[in-house]
Structure 1
């Protein structure tokens, strides 16, 4: 994190050298897309492209998340992990219940440490809610987690299932709480309970998904919610850039995205926990 190593003097540059960006997507035309989801035809988003912006994020470790455009073909993610380096990269895959044990082992050897259910818009999803519990039991033995991009309403609707699954689960993008009265939403209480109980993690990522004020105001209407999560569960948070920002027509400056965590987290010690320690625990660095 570019500002985290210099702003407060309470952490050293060395201690932040292993900072992790826990949420990026790679779109590489060498790997054909099979689902019509995010339109990435307008931009390049290869590993080389990411390397060019990564210094502005101030990170050296990366978690690559298979975009839904690739359905259950995780080859683009495995290739990205190889390019970034097995010691500095992990991945989140998309699979369905017919995945074989041998395929799971291959994914694990390639650096995969979780599976994603991107169900906030079910019509473009390669998986469905009926698959979650079955797959949770399949990947539990590998020590993987579930990564959930769900709406707040979906979290409430499926809370009993999440109480049953044996794995840890990670909520994408602030758990997608609705901006108005976010902290009063029933999903907020549920997520707080799971974080406190050590069942869940939450990503501080993609503030623009629910912000109503835009980049010019630095998505300031998200700040209160972000600071809430930092105050209640700093030991269960990770940070992600959400590069290459597939929902935006114009990508925000990398430095502006990374600077938001400095605003939310305050002290360097908390930033170190979020960027380095928590990510190392969750992804096995």
Structure 2
């Protein structure tokens, strides 16, 4: 009987085999048992930790980073629960908080496996946070050894270059830094992020190939390879890979996660570097023992 995976086209396993300890450093869990924030249209059904576990078996990853989705707002209970469900020894989380979060709550989140906070501001109208919150919260989480994860448009990255340069903590840019295609390498944000990477504290997530690709699934997302390879060349020790399951931005049919995992082979052709991206780098960034 052919397996069916929630929010993932196809059923075959990837052609490439994930190394032991490989990490999916960007996925989300949606769960109706927890409070919802904003429009219910943003809710994704059948995207619980149990649903993801099936996908995890398909692509062969073991470690996971659960990123708090917008629909659950600043109630990070859904992410903490997913960390426990998927196994706290090999699962970490990225939370969403606002400046009124207490020190005690931050400590509770840390004990539950949280290692960063996310600012999803590429569509400000739907955002739980705003740009004024980034610097004060970065100061606070830096004391915990956390990072700030940014899902910003390339234009926002360029416009807030001075703010980014002031942040004291590690910075992680989502989804290839969302540089527009074609012409990603000539966009001003490419230079902004490249300068930040010189400081040794700035990382890139190799994820979300479909978000800015013009060739799309039919073209194997081939137009993303140049920017992904550029980030890897700059700092192979500061890139991680993520599936972005359950692909909340994408209509049906959803992307094929085997194709997305195999795409990493084109982005990172060298096997030793690919092992670093999947195993060693996330172990360092997310505090896996």
| TM-score where L is the length of structure 1 | 0.93
Range moving further from structure 2, 56-65 or 103-112: 56-65
The 1:38–1:230 alpha-carbon spacing in structure 2 relative to 1, beyond 3 Å, is farther
Which of 267, 277, 283 lines up with 1:274 in the alignment?
277
Corresponding residue for residue 10 of structure 2:
none
Cα deviation code 1:234-279 (max 9, x no counterpart): 1110000000000111211221110010111002101111011110
Query: What runs of 5+ residues in structure 2 fail to find an aligned partner?
Result: 1-12
Corresponding residue for residue 140 of structure 1:
142
What's the offset of the Cα at 1:174? Answer: 0.5
Corresponding residue for residue 19 of structure 1:
22
Which of 215, 223, 226 lines up with 1:224 in the alignment?
226
Map of 1:238-249 to 2, 5 A cutoff? 238-249=240-251
Map of 1:1-80 to 2, 5 A cutoff? 2-5=14-17, 16-36=19-39, 39-41=42-44, 43-80=45-82
Aligned-residue RMSD, C-alpha: 1.5
Residue 263 (structure 1) aligned with residue 281 (structure 2): no
Which consecutive aligned stretches of 4+ in structure 1 deviate over 6 angstroms post-superposition?
none
Cα deviation code 1:90-124 (max 9, x no counterpart): 00000000000000000000000000000000000
Corresponding residue for residue 8 of structure 1:
none
d(CA) in 2 for partners of 1:157 and 1:235? 27
| TM-score where L is the length of structure 2 | 0.92
What's the offset of the Cα at 1:37? Answer: 7.2
SS in 2 for 1:62: strand
What's the offset of the Cα at 1:39? Answer: 2.9
Give the length in aligned residue pairs: 275
Corresponding residue for residue 101 of structure 1:
103
Conserved in 2, the CA contact under 8 Å of 1:61 and 1:88? yes
Which of 211, 214, 217 lines up with 2:213 in the alignment?
211
